[in-house]
Amino acid sequence: MADKSPANIEKTTKPSLIDTFAKVGQATFKQTQQLFEQGTQLTGTVINHLSENWLIRKISGFLNLNWLIGASDNVDVEKVAASVNKLKQKYPQESPSQISHRIMMDKAAKSGGVGLASSILPGVAAALLAVDLAATLKLQTEMLYEIAAAYGLDLKDSARKGELLTIFGLGLGGGRLLKAAGLALLRNIPFAGAAIAASSNATLSYSLGYAACRFYEAKLDAATPINSPETLANLKAQSERYLETAIAQEAVMDQILVHMILASHPEKTWEQILPDLQTANLSPTSLAAIKQNIKSPQPLEQLLNQLNRDFAVPLLARCRKIAQIDHQTTPLEQEIITAIANKFDISQ
């Protein structure tokens, strides 16, 4: 995929799947390889005996494993395969990574439009910035299956479920980056009713998609043993670099969303809306950027110049969602929507 994207953990945090691999000694290397193969190639059996598998136990302390497995069970693989085949027929000259990028953009746009009613969360900003985590993770699970199909893999093979766990471990980058991205709640809490910021959701979507592409490229490369610690460490490093860049994009996206919120509520100021922002699950990076510019906010045009097109797609979906809440779009709201659409040549 042509990468158009901007693609220390607390001491008490459990290690991620890939961190665990990095710490495995040479004496247990062969056992680790076998466990990794169990976690991907034989997942259909392993899932029924989670407590017996060391590898799965490690990741279960990091993610809500039961939900993740349940989500993969609910993916309509025939529908996914048909959808990806249509994309391949429409863009026959594109590589699997380019097809995957289209899939990621589509899912990011759809998840950007998923939101919570304004009555669910207190405060204007919290309501307008929040997205339903369970709903968006379902979309992202489907996205990972679509990316697997883009790379020509059999979606009915139980290995896909194990790979899903591995890709989540890669794409989320560990506790430090989860916190920086405003995604700390992904560690070991039920997802039902949980909400994250729209910008954090975009980071989650693209980071998972990027990790999936790198993983499947390595898997299909005969010269790259996917179950080696070296390969996994390299994939982890690539995914973390992408995630760090994506977190910076979050901060830009959130500042633009504040412009949109204020366009919807002209009686408020940046200072007045800050308390709401602090309860809206924004990432620490986003809050720091907003606080830094609160006395003199960056102009919209300047912010748009810092934004990557991948993040502009879910941003535009979110701005439309904000404008539609009161069933009317003000001239100032439309001005922001039009500026984003024109800047990145996104169809309105």
* CA 96 to mean position of chain CA atoms: 19
Question: What pLDDT was estimated at residue 306?
Answer: 97
Q: How far apart are CA 283 and CA 251, in angstroms?
A: 8
Q: How far apart are CA 289 and CA 274, in angstroms?
A: 12
Q: How far apart are CA 211 and CA 208, in angstroms?
A: 5
* Share in percent of the chain as helix, strand, coil (round to 5): 70, 0, 30
pTM, two decimal places: 0.81
The helix or strand, by DSSP H or E, that contains position 90, with its residue range, turns out to be helix 77-90
**Do you know the residue count of the chain?**
348
DSSP reduced 3-state for 191: coil
Distances, alpha carbon 341 to alpha carbons 1, 84, 338, in Å:
23, 26, 5
DSSP reduced 3-state for 183: coil
Question: What pLDDT was estimated at residue 7?
Answer: 38
The owner of tokens 């309509």 is 76
Question: What pLDDT was estimated at residue 192?
Answer: 63
DSSP character at residue 119: T
Q: Work out the burial of residue 183: count CB atoms within 10 Å of its CB; fewer than 13 is exposed, 13-18 middle, 19 or more buried.
A: buried
Contact (Cβ atoms closer than 8 angstroms) between residue 336 and residue 260? yes
Question: What are the phi and psi torsion angles at 313 (to 5°)?
Answer: -65, -55
Closest by Cα among 232, 165, 174, 102 to 224 = 232
Q: What is the mean pLDDT of each run of 10 residues along the chain (348 residues)?
A: 42 40 34 42 41 42 58 87 97 97 93 67 76 86 96 91 83 78 72 80 94 93 80 88 94 94 89 85 90 92 97 94 85 96 89
Question: What pLDDT was estimated at residue 186?
Answer: 73
Q: How far apart are CA 3 and CA 187, in angstroms?
A: 28
Question: What pLDDT was estimated at residue 67?
Answer: 63
Q: How far apart are CA 144 and CA 164, in angstroms?
A: 7
| Tokens describing residue 151 | 């790379």
Closest by Cα among 87, 101, 20 to 56 = 20
b or e along 74-83 (b: 16 or more beta carbons within 10 Å of the residue's beta carbon)? ebebeebbeb
Residues 6+ apart with CB under 8 A from 91: 98, 99, 102
Q: How far apart are CA 174 and CA 168, in angstroms?
A: 10
| Tokens describing residue 215 | 């993983």
Q: How far apart are CA 183 and CA 174, in angstroms?
A: 10
Longest dimension (CA), the chain: 67
Sequence spans of domains, the chain: 17-246, 249-343
* Residue 24, number of CB atoms within 10 A of its CB: 14
The helix or strand, by DSSP H or E, that contains position 132, with its residue range, turns out to be strand 130-132
